[in-house]
Amino acid sequence: MTEPIPTSRLVRGAKLGKLVADQAFRGAGVTLATMRDTEEQRLARTERALADAAEDIVTVLGSMKGLAMKAGQLLSMFDPLAALDAATVPSHQRERFRRRLAALYDQAPQLPFARMRAVIERDHGCPIGELFSDFDEQPIGAASIGQVYRARLRDGRAVAVKVQYPGVDVAIRADLKNLALVMRMMRTVAPALAEHAMFRELTTHFAEETDYRAEAEHHRMVGEMYRGHPFIRIPEVVTELCTGRVLVTELVEGLGFDEICALPAADRDRVGEVLFRFYVGTMAREHRFTGDPHPGNILLAPDGAVVFLDFGLFKHMNDAAVEFELSCVRAAVEYRAADLRELLVDYGVLEPDSAATAEQCLRLLHEVSGWLFTDAEIRVGADAVSKALLALVDPRRGYFEHWRREYAPAEHAFARRVEYGTLALLGKLRASGNWHRIGREWCYGDTPRTELGVLEHDWLTDRTR
């Protein structure tokens, strides 16, 4: 029998602490052992250690659910092992580690149906049979906040029913308290990241994710935003059956992300462009966007449309914040270093007397976001995200010491999550495209250069008539 989700702050903190300590001990043990191993023994021992580590992470974080499990999902997305030297951890070992962690998206430990059924019946105040003519008790997905089931309404419509784990709201509040402690501890290392506004931003959005009524509203908003789109589809919400802990939407069948990754290059490139247009383009054009790009939220429908799911994490950015982002992009693209630094100072990111020079500001943006600034066809590698993030924190690059005390704008936290989450998806797809030319449509108002761009431009033109 699956144990209930731990909700105590102390218990959850202790579980995470033990997980970290166990991995550190295991890593030290492997390092000491491999000093006397042959090369073949070293590789075998490292592979076993990585397999054990991945299994522990999936088991512990998967059973905890909530923000702890979401942290494991991010670990899988950003693939920290990809930043290591290939001679230290060969690519096939890194890939096995990543694939095991990817189970946290849709194959995490499941809660028994009886517990989930009780949530549905408690929220609706009636037996499940009065709501659905058929309900498959085997979940089709198990994520950080809830499990998803296939069902059929009494009028015959096929639907997906997302049910929140009992107690997960309490667990998330416990995780947020532990996160607050961690951020306070970070003040001596990176004061900018520990700034209170950043924590309030994260707290607000993660807390909202436990209210499925808010998610249903965001889902409807995005559905209306993309109604009639030529290659993006948002499932319809069954509003009358949605509650605080139950979300019911149209059921859409299609290829999952791993299946998409196995398609020919041309198909992967097309899906990659759609993902880029949806996640980054929506942020730039609409100033309202979903903040959770990951493999479990994407399907490829039989007609070629890309289906997007899950709008629990949703962000509204004001016009000034979006214009600041676009202005920084334009300055970086045009190599206007002095203008870029002035933008950062005027917005409050840098102090006027900051040691960060204009050239360092320009070089940093090109290192962490160069894929957006380069006017060329780029096939994104699986390690693109880890290398971009490593550029900021690697002491050998010299950025971290200059930037760790500068202001971290809280309202842009989810914009960075979307940017790097999208880059991670493109890397997993090994997708190729001139991302700069596509982005110029939003940043400069350029005429589309791709077939999908023309279709979207025509759709946007018809929408505004």
Residue 364 has pLDDT above 80, yes or no: yes
pLDDT tens profile 283-298:
999 999 998 898 889 9
Which pLDDT band holds residue 24 (cuts at 50, 70, 90)?
very low
pLDDT tens profile 322-357:
999 999 999 999 999 999 999 999 998 888 988 889
Average pLDDT over all residues of the chain: 80
Residue 93 has pLDDT above 80, yes or no: no
Residue 223 has pLDDT above 50, yes or no: yes
Question: Would you call 433 helix, strand, or coil by DSSP?
Answer: strand
pLDDT tens profile 168-212:
877 777 766 666 655 565 555 555 555 555 566 666 666 677 889
8 A C-beta contact, residue 191 and residue 197: no
8 A C-beta contact, residue 384 and residue 434: no
pLDDT score, position 413: 80
8 A C-beta contact, residue 376 and residue 434: yes
Residue 276 has pLDDT above 90, yes or no: yes
How far apart are the C-alpha atoms of 70 and 65, rounded to whole Å? Answer: 8
Which pLDDT band holds residue 1 (cuts at 50, 70, 90)?
very low
pLDDT tens profile 27-52:
444 444 444 556 555 555 555 554 55
Q: What is the pTM of this model?
A: 0.78
**Residue written as token pair 């409807």:** 220
8 A C-beta contact, residue 436 and residue 280: no
Long-range Cβ contacts of 333-339 (<8 Å, 24+ apart): 333/373, 333/436, 333/443, 335/362, 337/361, 337/362
pLDDT tens profile 97-154:
666 666 555 555 678 899 999 999 999 999 999 999 999 999 998 777 889 999 999 9
Question: Would you call 121 helix, strand, or coil by DSSP?
Answer: helix
Question: Would you call 163 helix, strand, or coil by DSSP?
Answer: strand
How far apart are the C-alpha atoms of 414 and 292, rounded to whole Å? Answer: 9
pLDDT score, position 32: 46
Q: How far is CA 26 from CA 44, 56, 196, 296, in A?
A: 14, 11, 35, 30
Backbone angles phi, psi at 213, to 5 degrees: -70, -40
How far apart are the C-alpha atoms of 149 and 136, rounded to whole Å? Answer: 6
* Domain extents in the chain: 1-107, 316-464
